[in-house]
């Protein structure tokens, strides 16, 4: 494996995650394969921008490999997609990796990503995301099949290093040239701090990438591990139901953008095979007197119903026309330093 240069993008939006942000950056600095740079992109929060700029520009001098941190203002509309696009636009690495601001990457995270690119056809490599529950353990009713609700790898994804339709955005990497071919993340689909907990912007991008480069290979390598914090409010059923509904909305937007064939290809297997098996497993555990079995079975049914409702609502609205933006990535200046 030749030395490969990675730019790591961490998108942030709130000072409430200050400690998490610093911990995420530190986990990048400690990689066994040093990152070329860490790009911290602040989503329309001038106070946080100033505070992070001061944190990473005072007293560091010339940075060692893996220690350079650049703080940027989101140059596009509010939201995760535009923040990621801002980071991509100014990145200098051959590869761009994305890490959630409330996650910690294991030491060999980038090294495992890099190994996946030995094949020149590989355009993206994702990893495995494990939950760090605020309560210290998984709620007994929370089914592993729905770990995507809290941004983590869910039961039903294949193990090992395997080809997939799409990687999961909070733990993923792309060749820089992938964005030249397919454009950036679509705004109007993904997460916005002031709106419902939408997602699927990485799914839409990966489908477009496959269309732009039909021979492209996208992988998940479950050795590339990060640990994602799950706050207490996300351990509650109310959030579970809200996030499942938002996922239905998001899937409808993706289908509207790229068509329902590719937009729902993976989801059909998930809903017809993985989820029924989860319901059976939960009912079996209930019959055996194991804690939470009935709750897990019920949560799967409720989650499917909420997602289906969101999908139906969004499809009805989408018929009136939805605008997406995912044009070519271009650098904007100036982006670095204090309040814009």
* Residue 330 included in any domain: no
* Residue 339 included in any domain: no
For 161-186, what is each residue's pLDDT tens digit? 999 999 988 999 999 999 999 999 98
* Residue 48 included in any domain: yes
Of the two residues 175 and 268, the one the predictor is more confident about is 175
Domain of residue 47: give its range: 6-317
* Residue 83 included in any domain: yes
**Other CB atoms within 10 Å distance of the CB of residue 65:** 13
Specify the pairing of strand 122-133 against strand 37-42: unpaired
Residue 281 has a pLDDT of 97
Provide the Cα torsion 100, 101, 107, 108; round to 10°.
Answer: 20
Q: Is the previous residue joined to 334 through a cis bond, with omega within 30 degrees of 0?
A: yes
Residue 62 has a pLDDT of 45
CB 88 within 8 A of CB 96: yes
**How many domains does one find in the chain?**
1
* Residue 195 included in any domain: yes
Please report which confidence band the pLDDT of residue 275 belongs to, taking 50, 70 and 90 as the band edges: very high
Mean residue pLDDT of the chain comes to: 88
Of all helices (H) and strands (E), which one includes residue 9? Answer: strand 6-12
CB 171 within 8 A of CB 103: yes
- Compute the average pLDDT of residues 241-251: 89
The CATH number linked to 37 is 3.90.550.10
* Residue 198 included in any domain: yes
* Residue 126 included in any domain: yes
The pTM for the full model equals 0.89
* Residue 328 included in any domain: no
């Amino acid at each position: 494996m030749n030395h490969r240069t990675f730019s790591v993008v961490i998108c942030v939006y709130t000072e409430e995650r200050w400690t998490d942000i610093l911990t995420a950056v530190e986990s990048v600095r400690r990689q066994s394969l040093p990152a070329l740079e860490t790009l911290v992109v602040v989503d329309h929060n001038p106070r946080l921008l100033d505070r992070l700029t001061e944190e990473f520009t005072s007293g560091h001098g010339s940075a060692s490999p893996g220690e350079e941190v650049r703080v940027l203002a989101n140059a596009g509309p509010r939201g995760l997609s535009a923040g990621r696009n801002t980071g991509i636009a100014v990145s200098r690495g051959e590869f761009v990796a994305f890490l959630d601001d409330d996650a910690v990457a294991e030491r060999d995270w980038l090294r495992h990503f890099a190994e996946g690119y030995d094949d020149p056809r590989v355009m993206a490599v994702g990893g495995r995301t494990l939950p760090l529950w605020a309560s210290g353990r998984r709620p007994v009713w929370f089914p592993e099949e729905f770990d995507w609700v809290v941004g983590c790898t869910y039961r039903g994804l294949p193990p090992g290093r395997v080809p997939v339709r799409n990687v999961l955005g909070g733990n993923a990497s792309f060749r820089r040239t992938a964005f030249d071919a397919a454009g950036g993340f679509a705004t109007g689909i993904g997460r916005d701090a002031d709106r419902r907990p939408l997602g699927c912007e990485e799914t839409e991008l990966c489908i477009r990438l496959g269309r732009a480069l039909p021979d492209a290979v996208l992988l998940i390598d479950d050795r590339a591990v990060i640990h994602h914090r799950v706050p207490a409010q996300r351990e509650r059923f109310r959030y579970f139901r809200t996030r499942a509904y938002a996922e239905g909305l998001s899937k409808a937007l993706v289908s509207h953008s790229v068509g329902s064939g590719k937009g729902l290809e993976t989801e059909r297997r998930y809903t017809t095979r993985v989820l029924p098996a989860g319901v059976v497993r939960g009912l079996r555990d209930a019959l055996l007197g194991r804690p939470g079995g009935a709750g897990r079975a019920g949560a799967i049914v409720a989650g499917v119903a909420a997602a289906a409702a969101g999908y139906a609502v969004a499809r009805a609205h989408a018929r009136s026309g939805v605008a997406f933006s995912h044009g070519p990535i271009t650098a904007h200046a100036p982006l670095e330093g204090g309040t814009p």
